[in-house]
């Protein structure tokens, strides 16, 4: 039987079994290992409301997959990075980053948040899957990797792109961590590529891990300016935040794709609001007024716009791997 067929059968069998048992049975070295990495099925939850997530009342479980790969040479437990994809799902870009991380001496775990949930693309309709689902996936992945003896559980970072960047960034908020983690296990680093910061999550408590935000100066999908403001707010709380802005870059600047317009893509670039995780209060700003309740919900829908520019940027493609490598080396070498 071919490796591909064994992979397909193993995943199919696992998707109908109990998530925790499935994750335990499908580890690297099983038939799912094709020599370039291992596909692991693991259980997560799908929050529909932020309040339910932080109050631990979510019971809608689902099994999704992640692709785990290690550096070629390993003499001891290695650091690892969870990789979260954007609105188009896992594509070659995430795999390129996984290979880069492996070449740096780190394990990589590319999470597929869509397939197991029956989602293919959320560009035109982000309501298909809540943004907090990505945060949940990140923390379930952290728990999974921390149990692998080949991985140094003190040195597991999370990196995401666009929608995945939102999860990578806001998973630094302590209420999200406490929703799924009982002990002191936490991410060692958060790396967010072009995340959305117009409507952001806040809390008086952060997990204390360093944050790297990589932004496009011409991004009209998830503009840089709100992220700069959010970064400054985090710094006021004592967070260690590094900003890298590539001035002529659009959304997806790290990819080799040409610049192109996606007319159907939904953007929250005109939206301004916040969700306080400590009080479960959602507010939106409109015409210098602060809205809450049903008015805030209505404004969060009204402020959406359509049409974005996507594509690579020469400087962003060349510099971002260097910036990520320098950041991770600093974090992991310091033992944070």
pLDDT at 60: 85
Please give the Cα distance from 259 to 249 (Å, whole number). 10
Q: CA Rg, the chain, in Å?
A: 19
Q: Give CA–CA dist 114/144, Å, rounded.
A: 18
**pLDDT-derived band at 11, boundaries 50, 70, 90:** very low
Question: Measured between alpha carbons, how far is 179 from 333 in angstroms, rounded to an integer?
Answer: 29
Summarize pLDDT for 275-308 with one digit per residue, the tens.
999 999 999 999 989 999 999 999 999 999 999 9
Q: Is 256 helix (H, G, I), strand (E, B) or coil?
A: coil
Q: What is the pTM of this model?
A: 0.89
Q: Output the DSSP codes for 2-37.
A: -HHHHHHHHHHHHHTS-HHHHHHH--TTSTTB-SS-
- In the Cβ-directed half-sphere of 313, how many Cα atoms lie within 13 Å? 22
**Structure tokens of 240?**
């260690």
pLDDT at position 334: 82
Helix H segments across 237-280? none
Please say whether the beta carbons of 60 and 48 come within 8 A.
Answer: yes
Question: What pLDDT shows up at residue 17?
Answer: 32
pLDDT band at 319 (very low <50, low <70, confident <90, very high): very high
The sign of the torsion formed by the CA atoms of 314, 112, 209, 123 equals positive
Contact 241, 234 (CB under 8 A): yes
Q: Residue 33: its pLDDT value, please?
A: 56
Tell me the two tokens of residue 236: 């006021």
Residues in the chain, total = 336
Residues 76, 81, 82, 86: is their CA dihedral positive or negative? Answer: negative
Mean pLDDT of 303-321: 97
Q: Which residue is it, tokens 């806040």?
A: 202
Instruction: Render pLDDT for 203-245 as a digit per residue (tens, 0 to 9).
Output: 999 999 999 999 999 999 999 999 999 999 999 999 999 999 9
Task: Give the chain's mean pLDDT.
Answer: 90
User: What is residue 332's three-state secondary structure?
Assistant: helix
Q: Which two tokens stand for residue 250?
A: 């659009």
Query: Which segment of 53-62, 114-123, 221-230 scores lowest on mean pLDDT?
Result: 53-62
The pLDDT, as a whole number, for residue 35 is 53
Confidence of residue 85 (pLDDT cuts 50, 70, 90): very high
Lowest mean pLDDT among 33-37, 168-172, 228-232: 33-37
């Amino acid at each position: 039987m071919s490796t591909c067929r064994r992979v397909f059968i193993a995943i199919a069998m696992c998707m109908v079994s109990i998530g925790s048992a499935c994750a335990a049975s499908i580890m690297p070295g099983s038939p799912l290992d094709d020599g370039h990495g291992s596909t692991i099925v693991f259980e997560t939850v799908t929050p529909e409301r932020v309040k339910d997530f932080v109050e631990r009342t979510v019971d809608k479980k689902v099994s999704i997959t992640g692709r785990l790969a290690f550096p070629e040479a390993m003499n001891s437990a290695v650091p690892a990075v969870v990789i979260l994809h954007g609105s188009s799902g896992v594509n070659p870009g995430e795999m390129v980053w996984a290979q880069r991380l492996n070449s740096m001496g780190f394990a990589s775990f590319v999470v597929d948040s869509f397939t197991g949930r029956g989602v293919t693309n959320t560009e035109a309709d982000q309501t298909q899957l809540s943004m907090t689902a990505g945060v949940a996936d990140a923390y379930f992945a952290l728990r999974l990797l921390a149990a692998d003896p080949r991985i140094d559980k003190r040195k597991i970072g999370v990196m995401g792109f666009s929608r995945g960047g939102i999860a990578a960034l806001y998973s630094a908020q302590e209420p999200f961590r406490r929703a799924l983690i009982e002990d002191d296990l936490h991410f060692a680093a958060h790396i967010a590529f072009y995340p959305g910061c117009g409507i952001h999550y806040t809390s008086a408590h952060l997990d204390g891990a360093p944050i790297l935000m990589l932004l496009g100066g011409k991004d009209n999908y998830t503009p840089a300016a709100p992220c700069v403001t959010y970064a400054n707010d985090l710094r006021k709380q004592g967070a260690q935040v590094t900003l890298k802005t590539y001035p002529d870059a659009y959304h997806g600047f790290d990819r080799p794709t040409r610049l192109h317009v996606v007319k159907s893509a939904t953007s929250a670039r005109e939206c301004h609001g916040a969700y306080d995780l400590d009080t479960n209060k959602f507010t939106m700003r409109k015409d210098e007024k602060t809205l809450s309740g049903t008015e805030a919900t209505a404004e969060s829908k009204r402020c959406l716009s359509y049409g974005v520019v996507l594509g690579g940027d020469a400087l962003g493609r060349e510099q971002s791997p260097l910036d990520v490598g320098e950041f991770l080396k600093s974090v992991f070498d310091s033992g944070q």
